[in-house]
Amino acid sequence: MKDPTGAHTGQKLVHISEVTPFIEDEWAVSYPNILATAGGTGHAALDGISLRAVKRRRVVSEGEVQVSIDMLVKSGEREMVASRGHHELNYDYYVGVRNKNTGDTKLVEVDGLYCLRPSVRSGIDFSRFDEADEKDEKDDRKKTYVERRNELLKAFGGKKSLSRVTRWERNRITEEKVSDRMADKINESAKAMRERDAEQGISHDADETTEPMAPPHNNAATDPKDAYPLMGLLSAPELLALDQEAAAMIELSEDPTTLENPGWDTLVWDVMLNILSKEGDAKETKMLRLQAIMHLHYLIVLANAPAKITRAVRNTLIEKMAVDDEVLECLLERYTTADERAWMRSRSKSDSARILGYAILMWLTALGFKNCQRLGELSAAFQVNTSTLVKIAANLGCKVKKPKAKADTNMYSISLRMPLTFPRLKKRFVRTKP
């Protein structure tokens, strides 16, 4: 018999739960702990260990004699009595071979570890009888009564029984059959719809683009700032808070070099100083760009916060963002998912992708929508790869210009195409049965 793992194990000790010594009379007693006594013995000392069964008579009361059998473990000059009913299942167990002439039992090693379990299967391959059955017992428990009965009928049933099993399997409704049938019907309906619409001149190209995944936008816009307007992306409380922050920043920016960072992200603060120090821009343009870069700070703080938004995390977010509860609720409503508990929210993978999408739009708005670089610094602020931001930017309708040097990720340049053009999604193969 081969090892179930298919590998040669060499001198591997077999683990057994008990050993039954054979006595001249009808007694048969199991002593699992006898072999456990030898478990700590080295391989070389096995030859010096033997087992012996002795019959003992003990007077329990007057006229009553109790007969018992004890197993003696002999190692050299030392002989130990194995106590009954003591299991040591963590030991290495051995197999004993009994000498009929002397009555002694020698401990020996055996190759391999075997687990024999009867199993009835259909379509048995008799050439594999020398291999261990690795079937999981859990699968057996999952089978219904009818399935187990059919297996028995396949193995031992007559002609009528086999035909009944065949009819049952042919007419049986399985999950696979239902799924295949539904897929066929869906494909047939979709094909008929496309053919009917093609005759009427209706195109379904919009269904094959990334447009449905983009934030609220205006396809008819000719100016980039109208394609993704902040009024369509942010709520009224957020816009009001950002408007007040931006107005206060402009009033204090007569000399931007004297300003100190009150707690904005380093990248955000650098862009804010560039916006404030740039001459020639109208106040409305500066207000718009400042609002966008300030909202980007909120996104950076939220993206780097724990995924589980507890009460403690809420307090930390309010402190780092410097916003009130109303603005924070608007942010959490858009960028996180509600939990079963009213005060608990979480950030899923789709939420993280939405945060990055809005972050790119804020970045474009703050830098003027054209030739927006420094994507390497932006990806570092969100702790993601630059390639991830580039893919999301392309899905939002941006044109991506790669740098000449692959290592210089900051030289990636993104611009918003006008009119908005979304990339087409790759068509997926739908494998249908002939």
Question: Could you tell me the pLDDT band of residue 174, with boundaries at 50, 70 and 90?
Answer: low
- Mean pLDDT, the chain, as a whole number? 70
pLDDT higher at 134 or 365 = 365
Span between the terminal Cα atoms of the chain, in Å: 45
Q: What share of the chain is helix, strand, coil (3-state, %, to 5)?
A: 45, 15, 40
pLDDT band at 133 (very low <50, low <70, confident <90, very high): very low
Q: CA 316, CA 259: separation in Å to the nearest integer?
A: 25
Write down the pLDDT at residue 226.
85
Map out the domains of the chain as residue ranges. 1-114, 126-171, 224-416
| pLDDT level of residue 331 (50, 70, 90 thresholds) | very high
Tell me the pLDDT band of 173, cut-offs 50, 70 and 90: low
pLDDT band at 78 (very low <50, low <70, confident <90, very high): low
pTM for this entry: 0.51
* Percent of all residues in the chain with a pLDDT value above 70, rounded to a whole number: 57
Q: Which two tokens stand for residue 40?
A: 């700590």
In 239-307, at which residue ranges do the beta strands (DSSP E only) sit?
A: none
Nearest alpha carbon to residue 21 among 34, 8, 2: 34
Across 25-38, average pLDDT: 38
Span 48-59, pLDDT tens digits = 666 665 666 666
Q: Determine the Cα angle at 86 with ends 80 and 92, to 5°.
A: 80
**Residue 178: pLDDT band by 50, 70, 90 thresholds?**
low
